[in-house]
Chains A and B, each alone.
Chain A
Amino acid sequence: MKEADMKVDKKSMAFLDEADARSGTAHHEAISIPDAASVIPESLPNVLGQTQYIDDIPRPAGCLQAAVRLSDSAHARILAIHTEEALSLDPSVRVILAKDIPGTNQIGFNKPDEPLLPEEEWEYWGQPIAIVVAKTRSLARKAAGLLRVESEELPAVIDPREAAAKGDFILPPRTIACGNVEEAFAKCAYVVEGRVDSGGQEHVYLETQGAIAQVIDGRRMHVISSTQGPTGVQRAVAQVLGLPMNMVEVEARRLGGAFGGKEDQAANWASMAAVASWVCGKPVELYLNRKDDMRATGKRHPYTTDFRVGADADGKLLAFEADYYQNSGSTCDLSAAILARTLLHATGAYQIPNVRVTGYMCHTNLPSFTAFRGFGAPQAFFVIEAAMDALAQKMGTEVVELKRRNLFREGDRTYYGMALERVRASESVERLLAKVDYPALSQRIKTFNATHRLQKKGLGFIPVAFGISFTKLQMNQAGALVHVYTDGSVVVSTGAIEMGQQVARKIALVTARTLGVPVSYVTVQRTTTLTVANTVPTAASTGADLNGMAAKIACQEIRGRLVQKAADLLKAAPEKIDIREGIILCDGKPASLTWKQLVEAMHAARQDLSAHGFYATPFLEYDMKAERGRPFAYHVYGAALVEATVDILRGTSTLDSVSIVHDIGDSIDPAVDRGQIEGALAQGLGWSLLEDLRFGPDGKPLSDTLSTYKVPDVTFMPENIDIEFLPPIENPTAPYNSKAVGEPPLQYGIAGYFAVLDAIRAAIGKPIVYYNLPLIPEKISDLLAEMGSDPLEPAGKRDTALQAH
């Protein structure tokens, strides 16, 4: 197993090699190869505090600071914005309103419904309505506060079901179906229906949104943006400035976290900085403070869903239907694509022959909800897992057994017609149940509960099958630019943005492996729209897949030239030549030719040491009319079991342990993948049990600070997190049979919800059903207090009670 390799103790040595390589002092030909799995040199500047995030980049001379003025109601008509007091604060103050935008006041890409600054109405509480610039950030913020806004309140809709009742949708509803649901339900021995609610989730990227914009030569725009999608920023900036895209360069360095929050919505802030810079003729930095960021930016979509599920007498699923009401917020943004992923994951990891699911993009006066790791899939998984849970309660059967019976199997087709290959659902589940010794564990929990009055324990279990590829087909493409310099060092730039997921590490390893050099020879450079154009955002877990493949293709091209050159120089057939770890091999033996000599020979012969690689995921097709096709390159499988304890007195929960079996394919770097799984798990558990995004009935954001919106901390996370990787498997559409890892493990956190629910059931001794996430202490306490109530009372009634305030 690769796991064992991680522990090899060459670490510090390898690390020093890397540091030497960076400083350019150690391009010795006697190569000691860093153990791929042992060192993560990309984190070196991080631990030294030297990584430059937006606000750390030395500012260009004369750089002004921008702040935004946010709306203070959910929906209103703008009558006037008075600037006199703001302007009188300091001579450096400038106020930029919608009318000052030089180009088109529109940044909505999927639907033109998003002005950069509103002209007539604002549509949510916290919407930027003016940009204020001054010589210091403090002055800019103070001046923004001095703007006097005259407005007329308009009615606001907060509840997606209310918007749906009015038919107020961002785009028309979308339905995907197969089989005959009505007939199937009629044949079911068991049918359960219910309602499922899931809350929004704030990204809490530690680095807030920001950008630095600078006019170059009086006519071109250069923007450094904390973005997952430089091309999207470039497009938006060009549009608001009225420039062609070739006059706008966007650069993304390392991001202090993103998680989807900077996929589409970094463009707003970069565009504002660019407009301000253009209008003032000076460099402008816009860096949001936490509160403005939390008020103004989108979050994970809250969903409210009605479902019906049916099974035969043996618990074999026959039919499932659901109406997903997505709270889309004020604009389209990425909501349609997110809804697509919800619908395409409606059945979770289960095979169901008859399905009909409909998604509604409900237009509300809230911030435009946006991408967040999982991208609509976690909401779908929560619904199907709730349906399975409710069904198990109704049947009086063991839920793990029920789920096991219905897992995807080799040769199954998903309900939208995708034939599944290399299915690993059962493999994951069986390994997991064996490793935790499920029968014994289950018994241990029962014994604990029988002997403890003040604490009860519960188990939650989830199998996962997560589709990899952008659901929007055209986005599955990527480019890479690779240069080999004459000293033998290599630089690669792709569309992959490094935001903590360590994609740079993976790209470096793919580059090194393909070229045949030690990874210490390779540097991954920041992404700019000049080096790689027309990129798709680093999102949908595809960063390493798409960009890694593009880098591989570029490297293969350079390698082909190098091999030919080496063959010429060594007077051997090219088939006899190999390059591995920076050593030229001829007939399997090290040749007299070194890597550096080979590279120099190429240059001397005036041969190209650079290549651009382009990759488009093969085999994808989807018929939007028929709602049938193969939208995903492959699926990632896995399963998780969570054990939790509920404190009966205090109504709190504690996570005891999490066991995971996960499919990382043939990982490029297991340490990176482990970090991704652990981090995604934390976000999933946080979403399920803790993170409580609230708006008042008037649309006022109530959880807009880190003191009112709590995310997992070190004490929230369980002490024991056991992760086992499935053995490698063939996966032709990702580099070296690896698999995407960013989003799939987030779903594991959902098992935390069911573990706590299970413990509550143990406490009250009734098969209560309640699916309203996050399951915060108030709700736990509420459920515990209802010990005497009807156990199968629909969740809706409780919702009203809980959300009345």
Chain B
Amino acid sequence: MALLYIKVNNAWRGLASAEGMPVLDVARGELGLTSTKEGCREGDCGACAVLVGEQIANTVRYRAVPSCLLALGELKGKHLLSLEGLIEGTEDGLTPVMRAFIEENASQCGFCTPGFIIALTSWLAEPQVPDLAGALRAVDGNLCRCTGYAAIRRAAARLVEQFRDLPLEPIARLKALVSAQVLPQSVLKFIEESKSSSLQTSVPNGATIGTGLDMAGHDNKKAVASTLDPAVIVGGGTDFYVRNPDPDEGFSPLLTRMIPEFALVEYRDEPQGQWLEIGAAVTVRDFFVSPLVQREIPGIGRFETMFASTLIRNLATVGGNIVNASPVADITSMLMALGAQLVIVPEARAYEPQAPIRLCPLEQFFLGYKKLDLRPGEVLKAIRIPAGANRKFSFEKASKRKNLDIAAVNTAIAFKIEEKHFKDVRISLGGVAPVPMLGTAAMEVLEGAPCNPADRKTLASLAMKTAQAASASISPISDVRGSADYRRRMVHQLMLAHFVRFFEASGIAEELFP
């Protein structure tokens, strides 16, 4: 049986487990890395977080992900770091992140602590200037039931002070973190090994393995060939493993993240115009930080933290959010308002750049609750949004907790202002029907209506009409996330919130709440 080669802390290991096994089980079992804790198996607590190092383009990147939702196959040729690996070679047996936790008494029962340490280590490795807000965002997927987070906040603040001056160039930063003993020496080794020539020689028995994307595709091609319909296709796994926490031995799904062609963000020129194509396997994190995405969807960055948590965003894929077919999928809601089209290819030809494609408008993709217009043997390869549009965009959601919570309802809106009129208005509504849908009644109210920022009265009246049209057009159900009445009311309110976001400077609030 072919072994999976993974660098586990300081050594390459050949693992016999199937690619579809959750990393958490392999880490705690075969690998004996019990610092990695099982807290919920839903990605909702962060206790199982691990650091994954991989080669991306010409650099190496480390990010924290929840190991309970991570398929082992994703680690092929990558570097898995747990607390056992972080402390290797440190002078007093502690990394600065751990020391900060001790100094601020930020660990009480301790069960969540390894996950927090991993998440904060990942934050330091992210090439940006460390600040407290960033540190807290990094742990927004980690639950602690003991400390009330105050001591963790103090520990994070201490780290911000300590690591203000890290280099921003990724490799230089990793090296600086190794010098500071935040990361272990094995990271330097992995950076070296990632230059593929040395990597090949470092693996026992001269087995060929690749780093990340390039070689991984090789095995998957075989998997596709040998897996007959209906093959299981897994994106990030952040929903799949919630529903299937305990896959059968030998489970080997098609992992879309291992297909390089599925992970691109690029422009495409088509007869009907230019599109921005976002690979289905692009992670949600990479989607939000992509300069191309940010150019096409001005202000998209501010909505990033409304989607799950940092840990989940590091793993979940854009395509997975769509095919999961949740009526309240946040990325789906955003993309639907942006006029997205899905690029669907035959699964057996997933790796071919010239595979025949079928296009499907996103709003037509959902046939019923969790029913997709995706035929046997087809796979979602990418999502296209029309490029070059100088659009306005807003996203809103209602949930019990502001962060890492599934919406009761959500909505996105996109439009252009042409000659002081609303143009190409698209409004999505989630959580109001068995499928994510367009709010066509509301769109009709707005399309072609006057848009003069100086005329706040007209804008306010338009906002009210749009909100009423949207809430009148839906018949939601009641469940644990909210009653039907609440959902209808929130669609109304969130529609107003869109308008306030765009036109607050015009004084629209004074009109809406006299």
List residues of A whose CB falls within 8 A of some B CB.
Answer: 11-12, 15-16, 19, 39-41, 43-53, 55-56, 138, 141-142, 203-207, 254-259, 289-290, 453-454, 499-502, 648-652, 671-672, 674-675, 678-683, 690, 692, 694, 702-703, 705-708, 710-717, 719, 721, 776-778, 781-782, 785, 801-802, 804-805
Contacts and interface: CB of A to CB of B under 8 A. Distances in A.
Given A47-B102, A649-B500, A710-B400, A678 B110 contact: no
Given A649-B496, A710-B400, A672 B145 contact: no
24 contacts: A12-B103, A15-B102, A19-B93, A43-B101, A47-B110, A47-B113, A48-B35, A48-B83, A48-B94, A52-B34, A203-B145, A500-B108, A500-B110, A501-B146, A502-B105, A502-B108, A650-B396, A675-B146, A681-B148, A682-B149, A711-B145, A713-B143, A713-B403, A802-B483
B102 A43 contact: yes
B110 to A, nearest CB: 3
A252 to B, nearest CB: 13
Interface string B144-180: 1111111111000000000000000000000000000
Contacts of A138: 246
Contact of A672 (B105, B484, B490): B105
Given A713-B401, A715-B403, A44 B102 contact: yes
B399 to A, nearest CB: 8
A501 B148 CA distance: 12
In the A-B complex, the 5 residue pairs with the closest CB atoms: A49-B35, A500-B109, A46-B110, A256-B111, A682-B148
Given A53-B111, A142-B246, A805-B483, A781 B145 contact: no
A454 B83 contact: no
B482 interface: yes
Contacts of A776: 400
Given A254-B109, A714-B152, A715-B403, A48 B98 contact: yes
A257 B136 contact: no
A733 B489 CA distance: 55
A43 B40 contact: no
A671 B105 CA distance: 7
A690 B117 contact: no
Contacts of A39: 102
Contacts of B93: 19, 48
A650 B497 contact: yes
A713 B146 CA distance: 11
Interface in B106-158: 106-114, 117, 136, 139-140, 142-153
Contacts of A51: 110-111
A785 B489 contact: yes
Interface in B15-38: 28, 34-38
B145 A777 contact: no
A714 B39 contact: no
B398 A777 contact: yes
B409 to A, nearest CB: 11
A294 to B, nearest CB: 9
Interface stretch (B41-49, B185-193, B317-325, B365-373): B41-49
B111 A781 contact: no
Interface residues of A, dominant DSSP: loop
A35 B396 CA distance: 50
A702 B480 CA distance: 6
Nearest to A293: B40
B510 interface: yes
Given A649-B500, A672-B105, A707-B42, A692 B110 contact: no
B349 to A, nearest CB: 35
B269 interface: no
B390 interface: no
Interface string B492-504: 0110110010000
A706 B40 contact: yes
Contacts of B113: 43, 46-47, 49
Interface string B49-86: 00000000000000000000000000000000011100
Nearest to A653: B402
Nearest to B512: A453
B509 interface: yes
Contacts of A708: 406, 480-481
B105 A43 contact: yes
B110 A256 contact: yes
A801 B139 CA distance: 37
A256 B140 contact: no
B35 A453 contact: no
Given A207-B111, A650-B494, A678-B147, A705 B402 contact: no
A49 B83 contact: yes
Contact of A290 (B40, B105, B107): B40
Contacts of B510: 453
B45 A706 contact: yes
A206 B142 CA distance: 11
Given A678-B150, A778-B483, A805-B483, A453 B40 contact: no
B318 to A, nearest CB: 20
Interface string B84-103: 10010000111000110111
B111 A706 contact: no
A204 B148 contact: no
Given A46-B110, A49-B35, A721-B148, 14 more contacts: A43-B102, A47-B102, A254-B110, A502-B105, A651-B493, A683-B145, A703-B480, A705-B44, A714-B139, A715-B136, A717-B149, A777-B399, A785-B489, A804-B483
Given A207-B111, A711-B143, A721-B150, A50 B102 contact: no
Interface in B460-514: 478-486, 489-490, 493-494, 496-497, 500, 509-510, 512-513
